[in-house]
Amino acid sequence: MAVSKPPRILYTKPSITALEAEYAADAAANGWGERCYDYINRFEAAFKDHLGVSHAIATSSCTGALHMGMAALGIGPGDEVILADTNWIASAAPIAHLGARPVFVDIRPDSWCIDPDLIEDAITPRTRAILAVHLYGNLCDMERLLAIGGAHGIPVIEDAAEAIGSEYFGKRAGSMGRFGAFSFHGTKTVTTGEGGMFVTDDAALYERVLTLSNHGRSRGQPKQFWPDMVGFKYKMSNVQAALGYAQMQRIEQLIGRKRQIFHYYRDRLRDFPGVRMNPEPSNVVNGAWMPTVVFDKETGITREQLSATFAGENIDARVFFHPLSSLEMFDSVPANRHAWDIPARAMNLPSYHDMTDHEQDRVIAIIGRLLDK
Ligand SMILES: *Cc1c(COP(=O)(O)O)cnc(C)c1O
């Protein structure tokens, strides 16, 4: 008889309860006609409330929210936007869509987020924004970023797709920049399947994005079917918003469980020499979207070895983001040494809401075995 594999441990999986199913069924049955925006309005209001911001627009994705926000800031051909080299393509794609150029800066080896010390050298007369991406729930040094942006008259914007639940000196990720963008993709802490949110405290910017999001039709336009400009179509549906609104009723539970899973790994891996996890410095709360291990060079442990070992144990762990500047469509910047080096000895660990302690113990045991070799 063949030896059976241990049961599969998933990487991510949304937590969907009877509440989400109830709201989505209600939206599907009743959320039409005059009620076609009910759940969208409720979801936006709950999200604003959670974040402590004045304006929110639900979108079909975080990429769409970033695209519209950057367009509303006037970013266009020939412009430059500074961001960390370590990122998912979704943060850079909207910059390229607008005809602007992403300028990739190295990360700090402890936070894996943009290194503020390197930003001023990357600023040129064409710089139109600094994009702060809070990688895996870890926070960018917002105080430094906002100071640099302020000194140069350049807006700091936040891609907080991975940072629901993260707080910086009491302020929630996504609420500190000129605008913030969130994702509700199925892998994220709060999900609507696909979806996103644009948030801002800037009333004028909100109006511009609202107009852009409605195919360029401004709120004050009395004529029907009369776009005032060429806009976008990145709207969220009412059925998706019903899922999102239910998730917002459970937001503390969803964030709390992510943090609990992270702390369980961290507290047990702390005694293993040569492995580091997401930082959580004082005055910061890490929303812990993605618990990640980075092995010291001296351990000799590689991404390939990690991938093969986890796959062999039927565990779905994923690789750390490749440097965007290593991709063919962008200029290569190997001088971003941390962004080019860390992914080669790092791994994202499974962290879905319903995973058990026993499953986490299996993951931890594998790491222990690798380090013992
Ligand atoms: C998931 C993610 C996105 C993309 O979100 P979509 O909703 O899929 O567009 C953007 N930025 C970051 C940092 C992400 O993790």
DSSP characters for 128-185?
A: EEEEEE-GGGPPP-HHHHHHHHHHHT--EEEE-TT-TT-EETTEETTSSSSEEEEE-B
Of 347, 168, 162, nearest to 269 (Cα)?
347
Is the overall model pTM greater than 0.85, yes or no?
Answer: yes
- Ligand 1 pocket test, pick from 11, 12, 83, 91 with the greatest ligand atom count within 8 Å of Cβ, gives 91
Ligand 1 atom with the smallest distance to the CA of 195 is 7
Mean pLDDT of the region 8-34: 97
Q: Say whether 196 sits in a helix, a strand or coil.
A: strand
The CA 178 to ligand 1 mean position distance, Å, reads 18
Burial 268-305 (b: 16+ CB within 10 A, else e): bbeebeebbbbebeeebbbbbbbbbbbbeeeeebebee
The CA 188 to ligand 1 mean position distance, Å, reads 9
Confidence at residue 1, expressed as pLDDT on a 0 to 100 scale:
57
Sheet of strand 101-105: strand arrangement: 55-59, 196-200, 179-183, 156-159, 127-133, 80-84, 101-105
Confidence at residue 4, expressed as pLDDT on a 0 to 100 scale:
78
59 pairs with which residues across the strands?
196, 235
Confidence at residue 5, expressed as pLDDT on a 0 to 100 scale:
84
Mean pLDDT of the region 198-207: 98
| Domains of the chain with CATH codes | 18-249 (3.40.640.10), 251-372 (3.90.1150.10)
Ligand 1 atom with the smallest distance to the CA of 194 is 7
The CA 35 to ligand 1 mean position distance, Å, reads 29
Largest CA distance in the chain: 74
> Which residues touch 277 (CB under 8 Å, ≥6 apart)?
262, 265, 266, 269, 291, 292, 293, 294
The CA 63 to ligand 1 mean position distance, Å, reads 6
Confidence of residue 359 (pLDDT cuts 50, 70, 90): very high
Q: Residues with Cβ within 6 A of ligand 1?
A: 61-63, 88, 90-91, 133, 159, 161-162, 183, 185, 196
Q: Average pLDDT of the chain? A: 97
Sheet of strand 284-285: strand arrangement: 171-172, 167-168, 284-285
The CA 64 to ligand 1 mean position distance, Å, reads 10
Q: Please name the residue ranges forming H helices in the chain.
A: 18-30, 38-51, 62-72, 89-97, 119-122, 142-152, 203-213, 238-249, 251-269, 303-312, 337-341, 357-372
As a whole number of angstroms, the distance between CA 42 and CA 45 comes to: 5
Confidence at residue 175, expressed as pLDDT on a 0 to 100 scale:
98
Cβ distance 79 to 124 under 8 Å? no
| Residue-wise pLDDT tens digits, 227-256 | 999 999 999 999 999 999 999 999 999 999
As a whole number of angstroms, the distance between CA 23 and CA 42 comes to: 11
Ligand 1 atom with the smallest distance to the CA of 60 is 7
Q: Whose CA is nearest to atom 10 of ligand 1?
A: 90
**Is residue 373 scored above 80 in pLDDT?**
no
| Residue-wise pLDDT tens digits, 89-131 | 999 999 999 999 999 999 999 999 999 999 999 999 999 999 9
| Residue-wise pLDDT tens digits, 274-312 | 999 999 999 999 999 999 999 999 999 999 999 999 999
| Residue-wise pLDDT tens digits, 162-198 | 999 999 999 999 999 999 999 999 999 999 999 999 9
Ligand 1 atom with the smallest distance to the CA of 188 is 1
